[in-house]
């Protein structure tokens, strides 16, 4: 009788280039199986029609995946101007709503009006929850739910190419931005009646870049040893936080859940500031918070049994 291989307790972060046509969860399950990992999760869902950067967290890294939820993101997308879709993308029912006859000035003014802090009404085909269910579950039943406008930030919005009614754009935005809604709004402001997304690719999440990601086809051709070499250390998820190094005695106290006093930190950090914690061997121990007088309060820590298995950080 065949026995299932024992799952591996590996930890780290893989940057996956998700292909078109599968859900983020499907991409996660395929990747988890390839690594034969016991525990895995993804950060930042991509629709089946969307491609691009999907960080996969294994083992201890899943404890820190929420760090990416509030990170800024960069996308490239292709819009079909003068048409609208019932879903905001190529999967919906398409209707013609206007002509496309644009000038450079029109485009410039439209981009300016959608740059900076703006209010956006979330799409009915988003994963935003209403009474415990994602909005798209209501939309598929033909139910319209009232959504309140939310403030988002568009840091940069550029037209990369325009050919007839196909417009390629680049968007750098805050978390909570719906690109399909942005496309619809842009189409309306341009006087085309609307627009919908025909392709969408995520290029960046925080400091993580698609150029460093791997496709499923590449991963499928590798051995487990080769796959492990593609993993980034867990603390790469917390790149924006300052690092604090502790002696091994204090490290052990911290890992036991105790508050560690270090008055020297009082002048270096503000109270309630989050920090990355390392031991003398530069191994990542977890996330801490500065308390009164520089004391360090443990917030989310690596399991002690896993520390020796983690790649050296920094």
How far apart are the C-alpha atoms of 153 and 118, rounded to whole Å?
6
- Compute and round to an integer the Cα radius of gyration of the chain: 23
Catalytic residue among 47, 89, 185, 250: 47
Q: Please answer whether residues 55 and 42 qualify as being in contact, where contact means their C-beta atoms are separated by less than 8 angstroms.
A: yes
**Mapped to the 3 state alphabet, what secondary structure does 199-252 carry?**
EEEEEEECCEEHHHCEEHHHHHCCCHHHHHCCCECHHHHHCCCCEEECCHHHHH
The H or E element that residue 253 is part of is: helix 248-255
How far apart are the C-alpha atoms of 67 and 234, rounded to whole Å?
11
Cα dihedral 65, 70, 72, 76 sign:
positive
Q: Any catalytic annotation for residue 185?
A: no
Q: Please answer whether residues 292 and 302 qualify as being in contact, where contact means their C-beta atoms are separated by less than 8 angstroms.
A: no
DSSP string, 93-153: -EEE-------HHHHHHHHHHTSEEEEEPPPTTS--EETTEEHHHHHTTT-------EEEE
* Tokens linked to 101: 């006859």
Q: Please answer whether residues 287 and 258 qualify as being in contact, where contact means their C-beta atoms are separated by less than 8 angstroms.
A: no
Catalytic residues: 47
């Amino acid at each position: 009788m065949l026995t299932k291989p024992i799952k591996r307790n590996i930890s780290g972060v893989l940057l996956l280039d998700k292909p078109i046509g599968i859900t983020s969860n499907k991409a996660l399950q395929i990747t988890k199986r390839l690594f034969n990992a016991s525990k895995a999760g993804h950060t930042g869902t991509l629709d089946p029609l969307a491609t691009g950067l999907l960080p996969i967290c294994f083992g201890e890294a899943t404890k820190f995946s929420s760090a990416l939820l509030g990170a800024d993101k960069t996308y490239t997308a292709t819009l079909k101007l003068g048409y609208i879709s019932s879903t905001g993308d190529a999967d919906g029912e398409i209707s013609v709503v206007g002509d496309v006859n644009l000038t450079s000035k029109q485009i410039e003014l439209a981009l300016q009006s959608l740059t900076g802090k703006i209010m956006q009404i979330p799409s009915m085909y988003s994963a935003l929850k209403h009474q415990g269910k994602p909005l798209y579950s209501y939309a598929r039943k033909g139910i319209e739910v009232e959504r309140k406008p939310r403030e988002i930030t568009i840091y940069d919005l550029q037209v990369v190419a325009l050919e007839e009614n196909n417009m390629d754009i680049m968007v750098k935005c805050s978390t909570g931005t719906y690109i399909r809604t942005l496309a619809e709004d842009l189409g309306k402001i341009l006087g085309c009646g609307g627009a919908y997304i025909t392709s969408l690719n995520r290029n960046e999440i925080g400091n993580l870049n698609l150029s460093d990601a791997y496709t499923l086809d590449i991963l499928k051709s590798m051995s487990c040893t080769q796959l492990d070499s593609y993993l980034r250390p867990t603390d790469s998820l917390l790149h924006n936080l300052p690092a604090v190094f502790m002696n091994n005695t204090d490290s052990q106290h911290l890992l036991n859940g105790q508050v560690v006093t270090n008055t020297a930190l009082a002048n270096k950090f503000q109270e309630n500031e989050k920090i990355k914690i390392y031991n003398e061997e530069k191994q990542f121990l977890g996330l801490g918070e500065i308390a009164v007088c520089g004391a360090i309060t443990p917030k989310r820590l690596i399991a002690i049994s896993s520390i020796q298995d983690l790649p050296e950080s920094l």
